[in-house]
């Protein structure tokens, strides 16, 4: 069966450090993968999209990698700030639909 | 430009009651979706509508019905609510620009539903 797995435990990091989140998937062949941010009590908000032929994508302090051989995406938040504290979801795309991972909660300590 | 709006924000139902969750988007998107989000399980797709006039089942459709009223509006109905349907419900929309691909999804603020 298809499965998407993200870091099962919450991530607590010191301000200024880099947070690295993983998204592993099985039995998918996604053309691309997306990352979303979700704050408590709110809907997810799109952050980044990376295509299968792209190894890396950057947006400001965010960096995403996509390894279709390993079936894994890594999401990095560099120079983290307390405002980056949120839950981050990866999503795989196919047939007009997204399938989401359960998310990883990141807390950045000042 | 409100994006995706949902009503109500909160709702408490008794087992067996029915209700309709409303969703509207003002971005002229073709596709709309209903998800539920439960702790530790992530977002699960209930139903989606790839375009006006079509609806399809997602991963967890049992106990729900949908109506794509027009291009803007997509409603979710619980005919006979059960405690297992206690969840947070999100509506989303997207503009599908590629064949068989779902583009960026824009989510509403959610409806927090409790079934007693």
Q: What is the pLDDT of residues A4-20, one digit of tens each?
A: 899 878 999 999 999 99
Is the CB of A43 less than 8 angstroms away from the CB of B102?
no
Give the model's pLDDT for residue B102.
57
CA atoms within 13 A on the CB side of A30: 33
CA atoms within 13 A on the CB side of A89: 23
Tell me: pLDDT of B99 over 60. Answer: no
Give the model's pLDDT for residue B22.
97
Q: Name the strand (E) or helix (H) holding A59.
A: strand A56-59
Q: What is the pLDDT of residues A12-54, one digit of tens each?
A: 999 999 999 999 998 877 778 899 999 999 999 999 999 888 8
The mean of the pLDDT values for chain B is 92
B-chain residues near A49 (CB < 8 A): 104
- Enumerate residues 81 to 100 of chain B having a beta carbon within 8 A of any beta carbon in chain A: 90, 92, 96, 100
B-chain residues near A96 (CB < 8 A): 31, 48, 50, 96, 100-102
Give the model's pLDDT for residue B17.
97
| Alpha-carbon gap: B104 to the closest alpha carbon of chain A (Å) | 7
Confidence at B40, pLDDT banded by 50, 70, 90: confident
Is the CB of B42 less than 8 angstroms away from the CB of A103?
yes
Measured between CB atoms, which of B41, B100, B105 is closest to A98?
Answer: B105
What's the N-to-C CA distance of chain B in angstroms?
Answer: 36
Interface test with A, best of B102, B103, B108, B110 (most A CBs within 10 A): B102
Give the model's pLDDT for residue B45.
93
The mean of the pLDDT values for chain A is 91
What six digits make up the tokens of A1?
């069966």
Confidence at B95, pLDDT banded by 50, 70, 90: confident
CA distance A27 to A63: 25
| Percent of chain B residues past pLDDT 90, beyond the cut | 78
Tell me: pLDDT of B110 over 80. Answer: yes
CA distance A84 to A39: 10
Give the model's pLDDT for residue B42.
85
Q: Which region among A51-65, A77-91, B9-23, B99-113 has the lowest average model confidence (pLDDT)?
A: B99-113
Is the CB of B102 less than 8 angstroms away from the CB of A97?
yes
CA distance B16 to B57: 22
CA distance B95 to B30: 6
Confidence at B101, pLDDT banded by 50, 70, 90: low
């Amino acid at each position: 069966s298809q499965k998407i797995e993200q870091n099962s435990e919450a991530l607590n990091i010191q301000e200024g450090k880099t947070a690295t989140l993983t998204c592993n998937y099985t039995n998918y062949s996604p053309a691309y993968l997306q990352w979303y941010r979700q704050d408590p009590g709110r809907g997810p908000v799109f952050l980044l999209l990376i295509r299968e032929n792209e190894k890396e994508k950057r947006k400001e302090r965010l960096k995403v990698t996509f390894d279709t051989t390993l079936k894994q995406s890594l999401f990095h938040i560099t120079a983290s700030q307390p405002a980056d504290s949120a839950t981050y979801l990866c999503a795989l795309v196919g047939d007009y639909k997204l399938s989401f991972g359960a998310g990883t909660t990141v807390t950045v300590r000042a | 430009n409100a994006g995706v709006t949902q009503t109500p924000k909160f709702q408490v139902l008794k087992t067996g009651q029915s209700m309709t969750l409303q969703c509207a988007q003002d971005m002229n998107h073709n596709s709309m979706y209903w998800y539920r989000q439960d702790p530790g399980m992530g977002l699960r797709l209930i139903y989606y509508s790839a375009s006006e006039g079509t609806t399809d089942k997602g991963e967890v459709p049992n106990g729900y019905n949908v109506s794509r009223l027009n291009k803007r509006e997509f409603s979710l109905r619980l005919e006979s609510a059960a405690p297992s349907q206690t969840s947070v419900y999100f509506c989303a929309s997207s503009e599908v620009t590629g064949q068989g691909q779902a583009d960026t999804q824009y989510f509403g603020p959610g409806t927090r539903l409790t079934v007693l």
